[in-house]
Amino acid sequence: MKQGVNVAVKPQKQKDSFLVGLGRYLGNFKEQLVILVALAGLCMVLSVLSPNFLTKSNFLDIARVVSINGIMAAGMTLVILTGGIDLSVGSIFALAGVIAAALIPGSYSESPFVTTFKLPVPAAILVGLLVGVLIGYINGLVITRFRIEPFVVTLGMMSFARGLTYLYSGGYPINFKPMPPGFQWVGQGYVFGLPTPTIIFVFVIALCWWILRYTAFGRTIYAIGGNEEAARLSGMNTRRIKRLTYLFLGALAAFSGIVMASRVAAGSPVAGIGYELDVIAGVVIGGTSLAGGRGSIFGTVLGVFMLGVIENGLNLLGVSTYYQYIIKGMILIMATGIDGYYRKKRCY
Amino acid sequence: MKTDNILEMRGISKSFPGVKALQGINFTVRKGEVHCLAGANGAGKSTLMKILSGAYQADSGEIWIDGQKVHLRNPIDALKAGIGTIYQELSIVPKLTAAENIFLNNYPQKGLIVDWRKISQLSRDIFAGIGIKNIDVDRPVETLTIGHQQLVELVKVLVQKAKIVIMDEPSATLSAEEFNVLKGVINPHSAPLDIITNVFLGH
């Protein structure tokens, strides 16, 4: 232990100089700076290797792809910061996408459950979101009430929700003829020259950043992940906070699934299979510790962009998808290794 | 009748399988007093304090605080009753700043927003009030000395408006200099506190 090391004397009421403050602020992002540099390096290499990399259309493409995962990764950051995990995001993604699509005017499917009953677009989206909220709430309730490992509960939910999706859709995709323009805009439209999903992503990121930095709810998330016993002894309702994080992630996963349904113009029951890997990998690569209590939304943004750029680059270079899985897996393990290394260093 | 006794424990008994740890203990604290429980290992000091802090339940006996009978089923009940405990295993969140730890779950807010400036300022003022000026409240607690970490715990308990403060072996991890600061804080003539200390006793 670092005993007897004296803290620098700091006179009362005197403000830190700007540079000291800035230095301290940047010091909080040491790990993220490493990723930022790696990301910049990767972009430089790719721009040399592929003439198509540095084009506007390619960047918009990356932004669009990253946004779908990024919306979920933002919510996943909150869950992981409490020391939890949610493996059911891919299934919530599919279920919400299928249900919302089935309720939107113009959709049709072979499934007997997909009826002619339709709702206005915003109402259909809302129903999809509520499905995500409900599943997230059940996740959180089972985890906190019965004290079952989040890994196990959400692994079970991953299968359960996927089963519901198949049952409801009969395994058939839900297609549109024609797709209402309002719904089309959600996944395929543009705002200020940026894809709508990207605008939604930016909004979600800003919201999560604000929650984590400035609300008592967000600070409690850090406290629970940092020392749950201390949080509880301070009188915090740690179970309620945890339930809320799963509920919030459920809503975001559902929203992401709805955006995806709009983007590909279909509610697919096989959508989002394996997405939990990409989402969790994005969060972990961004420097958020799986043990909880340490990490940031800023890091998660970098993490999902890192994965997005790697995938995009490998596609541009014509590398087979099979290799992409191998490379993504390796990067995830490496990022976790770096996390462990930093943690050991911090343990004095 | 108004009583001077801020705390009365009456007839407290507690058994663990195979051992009777406490038998009919009476313990009274008046406002402004500092008590020290001394005894050999296994004498039951910690058990009594754990009952008072809500960590254990007494088998029999009553606890009265400020003339009111209380039931302390868990540490949160004890906190609400005005009993603050400084645990030996520190109950702080290492990654958060000293200031934030002090105001954990007690954040001063501007509307929906946590008021960081006020948290820092208040923390600095409180530390200054107990005569500690060289603590950087904006640093993560894990980067402070153990002694300062313990002082953060103490201040946190004060902010929670504890009427009675329990310290379990407070001097065990402190340097001589830090111990002097602590002695100043628990001096009954200078501190507006009612403190029970459970001081480590070598044997």
Contact B8, B63 (CB under 8 A): yes
Minimal Cα–Cα distance from B107 to chain A, Å? 7
How far is it, in rounded angstroms, from Cα B20 to Cα B12? Answer: 12
Quick check: helix, strand or coil at residue A9?
A: coil
pLDDT band of residue A347 (cuts 50, 70, 90) is very low
Contact A238, A231 (CB under 8 A): yes
The per-residue pLDDT for range A212-270, each reduced to its tens digit, is 999 999 999 999 999 888 888 787 889 999 999 999 999 999 999 999 999 999 999 99
A57 touches chain B (CB under 8 A): no
pTM: 0.84
Of A4, A5, A215, the CB nearest to B114: A215
Of A2, A222, A229, the CB nearest to B91: A229
CA distances A119 to A180, A186, A267, Å, are: 12, 16, 16
**Higher per-residue confidence, A74 vs A118:** A74
How far is it, in rounded angstroms, from Cα B152 to Cα B101? Answer: 8
Domain ranges of chain A: 64-273
Any residues with CB less than 8 A from the CB of A57 and at least 6 apart, and which? none
Q: Which residues on adjacent β-strands are paired with residue B27?
A: B9
Of A7, A223, A346, the CB nearest to B135: A7
Contact A255, A246 (CB under 8 A): no
pLDDT band of residue A346 (cuts 50, 70, 90) is low
Any residues with CB less than 8 A from the CB of A181 and at least 6 apart, and which? none
Q: Which residues on adjacent β-strands are paired with residue B85?
A: B166
How far is it, in rounded angstroms, from Cα B39 to Cα B49? Answer: 13
Instruction: Judge whether residue A117 has pLDDT over 70.
Output: yes
Kindly state the percentage of chain A with pLDDT values over 70: 89
Q: How far from chain centre, in Å, is Cα A123?
A: 24
Is the omega angle on the peptide bond into residue A120 within 30 degrees of 0, that is, cis?
A: no
- What does the pLDDT read at residue B202? 36
If you count them, how many residues does chain A have?
Answer: 348
Domain ranges of chain B: 5-198
- What does the pLDDT read at residue B171? 67
The per-residue pLDDT for range A274-294, each reduced to its tens digit, is 999 999 999 999 989 888 888
Range list of β-strands (E), A130-217: 174-176, 190-191, 194-195
Instruction: Judge whether residue A9 has pLDDT over 70.
Output: no
pLDDT band of residue A22 (cuts 50, 70, 90) is low
Q: Which of A323, A239, A325, A240 is nearest to A274 (CA)?
A: A325
Instruction: Judge whether residue A43 has pLDDT over 80.
Output: yes
Q: How far from chain centre, in Å, is Cα B161?
A: 11
How far is it, in rounded angstroms, from Cα A339 to Cα B78? Answer: 38
Q: Name the CATH architecture for the domain at B5-198.
A: 3-Layer(aba) Sandwich (3.40)
Give the pLDDT mean for A203-216: 94
Mean pLDDT in each 10-residue stretch from start to end of chain B (203 residues)?
A: 74 88 86 78 82 86 87 84 77 87 84 86 84 83 84 82 78 72 64 49 35
Instruction: Judge whether residue A13 has pLDDT over 80.
Output: no
